[in-house]
Structure 1
Amino acid sequence: MTQSEHQQIGFRLAKTAELTEVAAIDWNETIESIPDIGTWAEENSSSLFNEVINDLRIMTEESERFLETHTLKEYLLWLNQREMVQRNQESYMKIVLLGDEVNPVGAMWTAQYWYYRNMLIYKNIIKLAASSNERIFVLYGAGHLHLLIHFLEESGLVNVEMTHHYLLN
C-alpha cells in the first residue's frame, strides 16, 4: 500500500461501496515539444522558480502538519476549501511567468502540458458518464482541482458536487 490518494482513499472507498469497477482516468505522458521546466530551471537562474518551489514546499509542509493533527475527514474538508484550491492554482499561474519573450517556457508548459493533461482527464470523466443518472466519484490531487471543476462546471454536461457536500452530511 502506497501513500498516494488512489491507494489510501480510492481503492478503500471502492471496496467499502462494493464497486465492481474503478476507472483510471489520468493522462501523464511526455510530449517532446514541451519544455521541461526542471531542466530549464537548472540551466537558468530564476528567483520566481525558486519562489514557486518554496511555496509548494510550504504548502506540502502545512498539509502534512494539518493531517498529523486532524482526522482524514477534517483534512479533506480543509484541502478542498476554496482558499486552498486557489493557493494551488496560484502556483501554476506563477509558473506561466517563467522564461522570457524568446522562450516563454512557463506559458508553454502550462498551456501545452498542464491544461492539456487536465483537459484529457476531463474528457475521460465525461466519457464515463454514460447517462444523466450516472454518479461518478473523482479523486485527484489538489493541484488538479481548480481546472477540473472549471472544465466540468463549464461543460454543462454534468452536475458537480464537492467533497464537503458529502463529508458534512
Structure 2
Amino acid sequence: MKNLLYLIGILSIISCNQQIYTQTVETEKTEKIKVYLLGTFHFAQTDSTYNVLDSDKQKSIEYLSEIIAKNNPNKIFTERQPEFEFQNKIDSLYKIYIKMSRPLKTKNEIFQVGFRTAKKLGHEKVYQCDHPGQYGTLNMAVMEYAEKNNQTDILEGKSIGSVMRYESTVNEDSIMNNNTLFKYLQWINSPEVMNTSHSFYNTNFPQIGSNYYYNYDDDDTLIGAELTADWYRRNIMIYSKIINQLDYNESAIFLLIGADHVPIIKNLFKGNPYFEVVETSKWLK
C-alpha cells in the first residue's frame, strides 16, 4: 500500500511538472522574437561587369530595403566581427551615414542594405556578429588531399554519397545578369540553392580523408570533417554573438549574411524556443 501511494505521488509530481513545462512553452510561443534571415552574395566582390551602384541595382536594393523595413526589426545584424570595432568603426561610419543626404558610394552590402534599412527605421546602431574561421586554409588542404588521393569526384558531386550544389548545375552568371538584383537574391535564397549548399558541407567534405584508418597524429586523416566542423563552429559563434546582443524585448531581428551561413544559423534559431524563424519566401517578395 505504501509503495502504491509513493508511486501515485511520483506520478502526480511528473504530471504537475509536465503541466508547468507546457504552460511555460505556451507562454514563450506568444512572445517569440521573429527572425528574418537573408542570404546574400558579397556586393563588393563582383567584377566591373556587375556594379551594385548602377541605377537598376540601386532600385532593387531600395526595394529590398523597404521590404525589410516593413517587417520592423528592432535590430539589424551584419556579417562583420564586432571585435573589429576598434579598427574600423562601423558605429562611427553609421553615425556619419545617417546625416548624409546623398547615396553612399560604397559597394559593401553592410552599407548598401544594412545601413540603408537601419536609417529608414531610425535605428541608432547597426549590429555586428561575424566570427573568424579557418575555411580558406582548410579548403585548400582539402583540395590538395583530394587531388593526391583520387577523391576529386567527391568534391564534384560525381560519386555515390555526394551531392552537387544546385548553382553548379545551371548558368549562375546568366541568372545574375539577366534578372534584377532583387530576383537574383530571391534565387540565392530559394530552397534548391540553400539545401544543396548546406548538403555539400554535410556530405562531400566529410568524405575527404582516409576511409580505412584513423590516426590522431595525422592531420589529414579527417581533413574534410575538420573543415565541416570548423564551418559549424563559426556559425554557432555567429549565432551566439547575435543572441548575446539581445535583451529579449525585441519583437523581430534581421540578419544579412553570406548565403552559405543561413542553413546552420536558421536551424539554431529554430531550436531555440524564444525565436520564430520567418521563412524567407514568405517575406522576400
User: Which residue is 2:207 aligned to?
Assistant: 97
Q: Could you give the per-residue CA deviations for residues 106-161 of structure 1, whole angstroms, max 9, x where no partner exists?
A: 112211x1110010111112123312434211011111111111111012221111
User: How high is the TM-score relative to the length of structure 1?
Assistant: 0.79
CA RMSD of aligned residues (A): 2.8
* CA separation of 1:92 and 1:40: change in aligned 2, threshold 3 A: closer
- Distance, in Å, in 2 between the alignment partners of 1:158 and 1:50 is 35
Q: SS where residue 118 of structure 2 aligns?
A: helix
Q: SS where residue 257 of structure 2 aligns?
A: coil
* CA separation of 1:44 and 1:92: change in aligned 2, threshold 3 A: closer
- Distance, in Å, in 2 between the alignment partners of 1:132 and 1:118 is 24
Give the structure with the larger strand fraction.
2
Q: Give unmatched runs, 5+ long, in structure 1.
A: none
Q: SS where residue 156 of structure 1 aligns?
A: coil
- Distance, in Å, in 1 between the alignment partners of 2:169 and 2:110 is 18
User: Which residue is 1:144 aligned to?
Assistant: 261
- Write the letter of the residue equivalent to 1:108: E
Q: SS where residue 137 of structure 1 aligns?
A: strand
* CA separation of 1:10 and 1:76: change in aligned 2, threshold 3 A: same
Give the structure with the larger helix fraction.
1
- Distance, in Å, in 1 between the alignment partners of 2:173 and 2:123 is 30
Preserved CA contact (<8 Å) 2:133 2:231: no
Deviation at 1:60, TM superposition (A): 10
Q: Could you give the per-residue CA deviations for residues 20-77 of structure 1, whole angstroms, max 9, x where no partner exists?
A: 211110101449xxx723134225523146516xx56954984432221222322222
- Write the letter of the residue equivalent to 2:207: L
User: Which residue is 2:226 aligned to?
Assistant: 108
* CA separation of 1:66 and 1:2: change in aligned 2, threshold 3 A: same
Q: SS where residue 128 of structure 1 aligns?
A: coil
Q: SS where residue 156 of structure 2 aligns?
A: helix
Number of residue equivalences: 162
User: How high is the TM-score relative to the length of structure 2?
Assistant: 0.49
Deviation at 1:78, TM superposition (A): 1.7
Q: Which structure has more RCO (C-alpha within 8 Å, separation ≥ 6)? A: 2
Question: Which one has a bigger Cα radius of gyration?
Answer: 2
Preserved CA contact (<8 Å) 1:14 1:22: yes
User: Which residue is 1:2 aligned to?
Assistant: 44
Preserved CA contact (<8 Å) 1:97 1:106: yes
